[in-house]
Amino acid sequence: MLNRLFWKKREFSVTYQFGFATIALICFFALYAPISTLVFYSFNAGNNLMLWEGFSFQWYVEASKNELVQEAAIRSLIIAVCASLISTLVATMAALGTTRTAPFKGQKLIFIMINQPLMVPEIVTAVALLIFFAIIKTFTNYYGLGYLITAHAAFCVPFAYLPIKARLDGMDLSMETAAGDLYATPFVVFRRITLPLLWPGILAGAMLSFVISLDDVIITEFVKTAGQDTLPTYMLGQLRRVITPEINAISSVLLAVSLVVVTIFFLFTRKRY
């Protein structure tokens, strides 16, 4: 008996396969080596992107004093916060509607439609939004940030929906059922039980939407009007003109913000045993 337990056949796992560690290290190197180079040269004292001339925070200071960068950063944060709030609210309602109801016809179709932005190339979504908003602009003569916020929110809905739905699927229904048996109204059950248990998933979805909106380029480039540059589109415009390590500094800050948010997202979504 002990021998059988000791020599029990190991379950299959890809991590035990020959060469897995080597391949993983090569993939990580290919992925992060260019990013590391970008961050390294953001501290370059000179204005040459490929020639190291000493360590300095010069380009971070230059970027912080650049009024165009300041305006683009504030605009990016406003759009990202608003888009993440709207998309998370819509995704929460959609997740509740597709998990806390009895199976019905068209449920899979609804799931597909919610996740459509993940399956369709982003350029297609951007062109469609460009045409749709152009028609609205013609009739309303409104050219504000509302279009960018709406476009980002629509694109971020599936990114918020997936962690929220995953959280709902993993929740035990016994507490909600017990509350219903004790004559609690559906709203009270949601407010006192479902929402507190769902809160980590909602936060994770909001943070993921925030990062996606903050980093978006294609949809923003197609939907924005003059004077509505975000940080990514500002950087894209600078790359078409004069390239300086200031772009590296801005990219490094965006990378740091994304890493912080993604780390918090991981902490909220990891399994607790």
Q: Domains in the chain, start-ordered, CATH in brackets? A: 13-41 (no CATH), 61-269 (1.10.3720.10)
* CB environment 89-111: b (16+ within 10 A), e (fewer): ebbbebbbebeeeeeeeeeeeee
| pLDDT tens sequence across 170-203 | 877 777 778 777 777 777 888 888 888 888 889 8
pLDDT in the model for residue 7: 45
- Do the beta carbons of residue 195 and residue 252 sit within 8 Å? no
User: How far is residue 199's CA from residue 84's CA, in Å, rounded to a whole number?
Assistant: 15
| pLDDT tens sequence across 120-135 | 888 888 999 999 999 9
pLDDT in the model for residue 113: 82
- Tokens representing 119 are 């399956």
User: How far is residue 111's CA from residue 119's CA, in Å, rounded to a whole number?
Assistant: 12
- Do the beta carbons of residue 186 and residue 97 sit within 8 Å? no
- Tokens representing 204 are 């994770």
Handedness of CA 247, 239, 51, 36 (dihedral sign): positive
pLDDT in the model for residue 271: 55
- Tokens representing 32 are 């992060």
* CB environment 210-241: b (16+ within 10 A), e (fewer): bbbbbbbebbbbbbbeeebbbbbbbbeebeee
Closest CA to 87 of 268, 214, 197, 194: 214
Phi, psi for residue 22 in degrees, rounded to 5: -65, -45
| pLDDT tens sequence across 85-115 | 999 999 999 888 888 777 777 777 887 788 8
DSSP assignment of 211-246, as one string?
HHHHH--HHHHHH--TT---HHHHHHHHHTS---HH
User: How far is residue 53's CA from residue 48's CA, in Å, rounded to a whole number?
Assistant: 8
pLDDT in the model for residue 118: 82
| pLDDT tens sequence across 224-234 | 888 888 988 88
In eight-state DSSP terms, residue 15 is G
In eight-state DSSP terms, residue 270 is S
